[in-house]
Structure 1
Amino acid sequence: MAAARRGPRERDRERAVRLRRERLRAARRARERAERRRLTGVTPAEAQRHARARRLRGWAVAAVLLGAVLVALGALELAEAGEPAAGRDGAQSSMAAALALLTAGCYGVGAGAVLLRRPRRDRRNALGRYGLLAWFAVVAALPAYAYGHLLAGPAAVTAVWIVLVLVMLWIVRRDRRL
């Protein structure tokens, strides 16, 4: 009860003590940062750049690993498409799924490699171009499956998919030259 009956002078004094402690803590942190900078030779901006580079490397490694997993799944689907027991329709759908998985996996591996190897200024153009091609190649597996089903089977699925990807490659390259 005694603490609840404090007067305005006591509250002002407690507030002043609290502010003084906060200023002392801030000054102590600033001294510690300055000492760390003096010992390591790394400024806070450089430390942020190093942290950003570590995060980027982590994302790049994750993209490569995910791409490798998708390539492995695509290879399994491709092996399943070649089995005679799959039937004609099963072989076509397995081929379309394999093409989509292989494309996404190859893009993941390629994107991770670009993030790891290229200078920062070259990354955006490469990733955008490759990303557009990979996205279209994955989506192109659906019409390739439909037309392959109408035409001749898994070989037709692959042929239609290759034609669609080549058309998209031509469009992207033509657009880049303009």
Structure 2
Amino acid sequence: MKTTQKLLILFVLVLSVSAFTIKPSQGYKIGDVATDFKLENIDGTMVSLSDFEDAKGFIITFTCNTCPYAIAYEDRVEALNKKYASKGYPVIAIMPNNTTIKPGDNMEAMQKRAKEKGFTFPYLIDAEQDIYPQYGATKTPHIYVLQKTKKGNIVKYIGAIDDNFQDANAVKTKYVEDAVNALLQGNEIKVKETKAIGCSIKA
């Protein structure tokens, strides 16, 4: 067999194996079980979803200090936590950016911002940038509503907080609120996925 033929066969075999072993990470889809994590909070503690024994689910928010979209939504994220944490759906905020590229998103800056805004929810740093790719988050903010079940934390909604980042008073559809309300009432979520509007996550 000629050397070129051997190389061609080897190349095809490598591609065939790769097709089964190397899968591009596109993140969670509706109905997937979200893997737990352990990330550092602004108070120095390590936080996992399993820490919230009484939770019925979670509002996972990938956000940061420096993105204008994320800043525009800060008060609304805080309002979500105040409205739903007591009902079993707390907000868990995760800062996914590479802090070398975005030093304004480092832990010290996160602590300062949380204090200024009076955040009542955990604000975690994805320091190794391992978690946001698992979820498939691409923007800040990017929201994932999870429902706790015997099978695990099931992804029930993915996307934007609402339909107007520029003006909270002009919002017509509150996607996250509608999703959580449906889960609390035992109803099907009508809009399960929307396009996240925000800044791209800096890797």
TM score, norm. by length of structure 1: 0.25
Between structure 1 and structure 2, the one with the greater Rg is: 1
Greater per-residue strand proportion: 2
Question: Relative contact order (C-alpha < 8 Å, sep 6+): which is higher?
Answer: 2
Q: Give TM-score, length-normalised by structure 2.
A: 0.23
The structure in which a higher percent of residues are helix is 1
